[in-house]
């Protein structure tokens, strides 16, 4: 099957090794293509105005990074577009300017909210301030100066969506940093000016030090991603392929102390006996503090933190009821320094701290060792006097040039109850393309007098490879593994998974620029069954995928899935079949089919980011398990996302997820769930925007039966010695919220919002909606940055 697909490509020879670092031909210009990656940055104590106009004398003396290379979709070739990055530093900040030349197409930029520039042309400055090749702070900016910042951590992992190819080690846009940017469109393309204060970042305590650096440019009209250094796709580490800013010295960081008082007032509405009642709460006062203890250690503390500005989680569909649904952390206090708390298998998950009264954390890096400690006292949300205390520690040590060794410890105490978990993990990079990751963990839990101890093991070997790669993993979690400070989607399982991948590249101008074929084979056991030497719960699930990157930024994926599931009795405890006999009604324990075979096809797509429109989505169909009745069914799943930008300031985003399961016996629907969501944003200025979010959640489940066998009704024990049928049910909820936001910088904000949840009997009629709850809120905060 691979032969005709590969024949579509005019194959280019593999890219050779990256040029070695050398001495530049001039003292100020550093060519990435020629391997001039050690940059001597001039130090000048001058004041400049960040206005996007490079008319100050300092810019004429700045070091210049030039000669970019293409990184995606094909590496190893010169970039089509010329980019120049100017850099110099003073005692208090490092300055960058970007001249991005664009002779081939239109520059795409919008006046967007922070971190919303992925569909624009943009630049990312990656600063590895500890020069370890493992973590970088990312400062992004689009042609109009809109910022997008975060962190990039080398984990070797790949973010992959259902039916589509993912991105390795994506940038975590959660943290926000204070820096100045301004940009403008020019006749040659666009130009950006940037100032990053040393107060905003942590770095080494040495008097003279070097920082790692790379620059990424995203060109939207062609779908190209370009880097200053000639980075290779086949390497296990991206950050280790960067350059260095040499011999930085004489920093005057001053006192690093940020004070951030917060005042919030809210009014909550609910149905009363005769009318709608509003309960106005007393305005709450809280605050945050950030203190740079040293250059490399930072303390963050918060009293009564407010999270009202956080956008509500988008609802998610659940494909397997045995797996919990994950929602990412969004709350500002927990996001700063969150990269230091990351562990494999999400053993640290700060959303377990629901609403802390007080919290504090220390993060930083000391002598090649990352240290992160968080302590928090949670609120008594249940009203039973319970206020859990959390203590979380994460330590990670550098090994060699790219490898790491880490440990983590979490402790949650709630009266006589406790949950403690200890883990150790390592990432070993060798040969430049091989990546071995391992983790082991033990949990110790006591709840209501019952004590349980559990364990986890995880080993993953990956060969990245430019053309040929593979991935093999072996992971197990015992039934009694409990992580009350972490997130485990499902415990009590063992999984063996792996397979090869093959990548081919087209020549310049080819219709197919990159093609990847992958085969994944997977077997799953219940943990107890595996330890007893039993057969798998899911025998040899296989996925055969093809991914095409086409000229202009199009992406198409095709995957075929073949799998077999065995009956999971624990999922159907308490379920019975109501069977009529000549002598009366019998209630027979439900046992289901012993095994179900599935055959699915998944199609995915992603359009280029045009000036006004972009879209992505997937569609899956075939024969799959009907978990409600444990029988074969026809499944139809789709998820789509469309972004429309009619003007520079207006952005509308529409997403829709739908799942439907049809019984094979009579084609009736056993379950339908539809989740449309719309978000509209109007960016009045860089600091002010209006946002409206509306989401509908429509669920319809048919009355359950023993489908395909007796077709008798399914019933559950009612707890009183009798039984009740599992009847049809519907849910039609519509929620929306509106927000006014003024945010001139992270920490200084004015928010005013309204949100409401409504319900109706028939879906998508919008004629009989009834309010279930609503509320107004106002938040004021100001960031005081000490001189």
**12: confidence class by pLDDT, cuts 50, 70, 90:** very low
Q: What is the pLDDT of residue 537?
A: 80
**Cα(699)–Cα(672) distance, integer angstroms:** 6
**605: confidence class by pLDDT, cuts 50, 70, 90:** very high
Strand runs (DSSP E) across 379-492, as ranges? 389-399, 403-414, 417-430, 434-447, 450-463, 468-477
Specify the DSSP class assigned to residue 239: G
Judge whether 117 lies within some domain: yes
Judge whether 17 lies within some domain: no
Q: What is the pLDDT of residue 539?
A: 73
Residues 244, 339 share a domain? no
| pLDDT 10s digits, 42-92 | 999 888 999 999 999 999 999 999 999 999 999 989 999 999 999 999 999
pLDDT at 273 over 70: yes
Chain Cα centroid distance, residue 569: 34
Residues 337, 243 share a domain? no
Residues 393, 485 share a domain? yes
Average pLDDT for 723-736: 95
**157: confidence class by pLDDT, cuts 50, 70, 90:** low
Q: Residue 336 to residues 259, 354, 359, 452: CA-CA distances in angstroms? A: 15, 17, 13, 33
Average pLDDT for 142-160: 82
Tell me the torsion sign for CA atoms 395, 154, 438, 335. Answer: positive
Residues 241, 327 share a domain? no
**246: confidence class by pLDDT, cuts 50, 70, 90:** very high
Q: What is the pLDDT of residue 77?
A: 92
Q: What is the pLDDT of residue 585?
A: 92
Task: Assign residue 103 the CATH number of its domain.
Answer: 2.60.40.1190
Judge whether 692 lies within some domain: no
| pLDDT 10s digits, 78-130 | 999 999 999 999 999 999 999 999 988 889 999 988 998 988 999 999 999 99
* 3-class secondary structure, 268: strand
Residue 640 in tokens = 């789509």
Residues 232, 115 share a domain? yes
Specify the DSSP class assigned to residue 313: P
**Percent of the chain topping pLDDT 90:** 74
Q: What is the pLDDT of residue 16?
A: 40
Q: Is the bond into 73 cis (omega within 30 degrees of 0)? A: yes
Last residue of a domain, one of 249, 279, 314: 249
**315: confidence class by pLDDT, cuts 50, 70, 90:** confident
Range of the domain at 458: 323-463+478-489
Q: What is the pLDDT of residue 27?
A: 56
Residues 440, 343 share a domain? yes
**Cα(238)–Cα(154) distance, integer angstroms:** 8
Judge whether 545 lies within some domain: no
Residues 328, 243 share a domain? no
Judge whether 783 lies within some domain: no
Judge whether 403 lies within some domain: yes
**Cα(94)–Cα(442) distance, integer angstroms:** 44
Strand runs (DSSP E) across 488-571, as ranges? 493-505, 512-526, 538-550, 554-566
Of these ranges, 20-34, 165-179, 642-656, the one predicted with the greatest mean pLDDT is: 642-656
Residues 221, 84 share a domain? yes
Residues 450, 347 share a domain? yes
**Cα(218)–Cα(122) distance, integer angstroms:** 5
Residues 83, 207 share a domain? yes
Judge whether 49 lies within some domain: yes
**Cα(525)–Cα(270) distance, integer angstroms:** 47
- Mean pLDDT over the full length of the chain: 90
In terms of C-beta density within 10 A (0-12 exposed, 13-18 middle, 19 or more buried), how is residue 77 classed? Answer: middle
Last residue of a domain, one of 249, 264, 279: 249
Residues 224, 371 share a domain? no
| pLDDT 10s digits, 364-391 | 999 999 999 999 999 876 667 778 999 9
pLDDT at 650 over 90: yes
Judge whether 349 lies within some domain: yes
640 backbone dihedrals φ, ψ, rounded to 5°? -140, 155
Q: What is the pLDDT of residue 374?
A: 97
Number of domains in the chain: 2
Q: What is the pLDDT of residue 612?
A: 87
CA nearest neighbour of 108 among 573, 611, 451: 611
| pLDDT 10s digits, 612-636 | 899 999 999 999 999 999 999 999 9
Average pLDDT for 642-665: 95
**Cα(83)–Cα(68) distance, integer angstroms:** 7
Q: What is the pLDDT of residue 40?
A: 96
Last residue of a domain, one of 249, 266, 288: 249
Q: What is the pLDDT of residue 386?
A: 77
Q: What is the pLDDT of residue 11?
A: 37
pLDDT at 22 over 90: no
Residues 182, 44 share a domain? yes
CA nearest neighbour of 692 among 743, 753, 643: 753
**Cα(733)–Cα(759) distance, integer angstroms:** 4
């Amino acid at each position: 099957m691979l032969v005709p697909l590969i024949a579509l490509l005019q194959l280019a020879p593999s890219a050779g090794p990256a040029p070695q670092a050398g001495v530049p031909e001039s003292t100020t210009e550093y060519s990435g293509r020629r391997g001039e990656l050690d940059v001597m940055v001039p130090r000048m104590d001058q004041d400049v105005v960040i206005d996007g106009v490079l008319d100050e004398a300092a810019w004429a003396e700045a070091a210049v990074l030039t000669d970019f290379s293409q990184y995606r979709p094909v590496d190893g070739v010169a970039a089509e577009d010329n980019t120049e990055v100017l850099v110099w530093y003073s005692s208090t900040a490092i300055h960058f300017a970007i001249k991005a030349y664009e002779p081939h197409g239109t520059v795409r930029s919008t006046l967007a909210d922070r971190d919303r520039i992925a569909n624009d042309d943009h630049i990312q400055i990656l600063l590895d301030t500890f020069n370890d090749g493992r973590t970088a702070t990312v400062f992004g900016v689009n042609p109009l100066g809109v910022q997008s910042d975060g962190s990039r951590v080398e984990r070797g992992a790949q973010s992959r969506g259902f039916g589509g190819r993912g991105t390795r080690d994506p940038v975590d846009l959660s943290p926000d940093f204070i820096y100045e940017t301004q940009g403008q469109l020019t006749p040659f393309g666009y130009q950006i000016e940037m100032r990053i204060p040393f107060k905003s970042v942590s770095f080494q305590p040495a008097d003279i030090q070097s920082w790692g650096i790379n620059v990424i440019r995203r060109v939207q009209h062609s779908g190209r991603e370009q880097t200053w250094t000639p980075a290779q796709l086949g390497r296990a580490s991206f950050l280790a392929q960067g350059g260095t800013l040499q011999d930085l010295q004489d920093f005057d960081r001053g006192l690093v102390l940020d004070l951030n008082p917060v005042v919030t007032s809210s009014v909550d509405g609910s149905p009363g006996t005769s009318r709608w009642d509003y309960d106005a709460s007393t305005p709450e006062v809280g605050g945050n503090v950030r203190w740079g203890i040293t250059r490399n250690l930072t303390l963050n503390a918060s009293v009564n933190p407010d999270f009202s500005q956080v956008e509500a989680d988008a609802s998610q569909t659940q494909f397997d009821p045995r797996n919990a649904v994950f929602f990412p952390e969004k709350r500002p206090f927990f996001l700063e320094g969150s990269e230091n708390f990351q562990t494999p298998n999400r053993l640290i998950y700060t959303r377990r701290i629901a609403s802390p009264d007080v919290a504090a954390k220390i993060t930083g890096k000391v002598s090649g060792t990352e240290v992160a400690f968080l302590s928090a006292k949670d609120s008594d949300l249940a009203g039973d006097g319970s206020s859990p205390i959390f203590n979380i520690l994460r330590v990670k040590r550098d090994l060699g040039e790219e490898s790491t060794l880490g440990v983590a410890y979490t402790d949650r105490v709630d009266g006589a109850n406790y949950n403690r978990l200890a883990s150790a993990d390592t990432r070993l990079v060798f040969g430049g393309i091989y990546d071995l990751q391992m983790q082991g963990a033990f949990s110790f839990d006591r709840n209501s007098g019952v004590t349980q101890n559990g364990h986890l093991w995880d080993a993953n070997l990956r060969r990245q490879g430019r053309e040929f790669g593979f991935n093999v993993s072996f992971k197990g979690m015992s039934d009694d593994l409990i992580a009350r400070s972490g997130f485990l989607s499902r415990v009590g399982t063992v999984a063996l998974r792996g397979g090869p991948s093959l990548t081919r590249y087209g020549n310049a101008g080819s219709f197919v620029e990159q093609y990847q074929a992958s085969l994944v084979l997977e077997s799953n056991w219940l943990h107890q069954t595996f330890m007893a030497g039993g057969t798998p719960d899911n025998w040899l699930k296989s996925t055969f995928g093809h991914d095409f990157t086409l000229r202009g930024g199009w992406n198409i994926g095709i995957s075929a899935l073949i799998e077999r599931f065995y009956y999971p009795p624990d999922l159907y405890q308490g379920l019975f079949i109501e069977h009529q006999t000549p002598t009366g009604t019998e209630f027979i324990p439900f046992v289901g089919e012993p095994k179900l075979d599935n055959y699915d096809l998944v199609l995915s797509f992603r359009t280029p980011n045009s000036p006004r429109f972009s879209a992505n989505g997937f569609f899956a169909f075939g024969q799959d398990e009907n978990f409600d009745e444990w029988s074969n069914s026809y499944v139809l799943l789709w998820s789509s996302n469309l972004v429309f930008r009619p003007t520079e300031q207006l952005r509308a985003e529409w997403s829709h997820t739908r799942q439907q399961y049809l019984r094979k016996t009579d084609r009736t629907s056993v379950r339908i769930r539809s989740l449309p969501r719309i978000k509209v944003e109007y960016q009045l200025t860089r600091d002010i925007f209006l946002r409206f979010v509306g989401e509908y959640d429509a669920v319809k489940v048919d009355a359950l039966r023993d489908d395909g066998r007796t077709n008798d009704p399914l019933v559950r024990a009612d707890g009183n010695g009798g039984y009740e049928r599992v009847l049809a049910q519907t849910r039609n909820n519509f929620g929306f919220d509106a927000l006014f936001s003024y945010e001139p910088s992270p920490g200084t904000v004015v928010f005013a919002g309204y949100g409401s949840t409504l319900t109706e009997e028939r879906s998508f009629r919008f004629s009989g909606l009834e309010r279930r709850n609503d509320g107004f809120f106002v938040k004021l905060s100001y960031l005081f940055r000490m001189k």
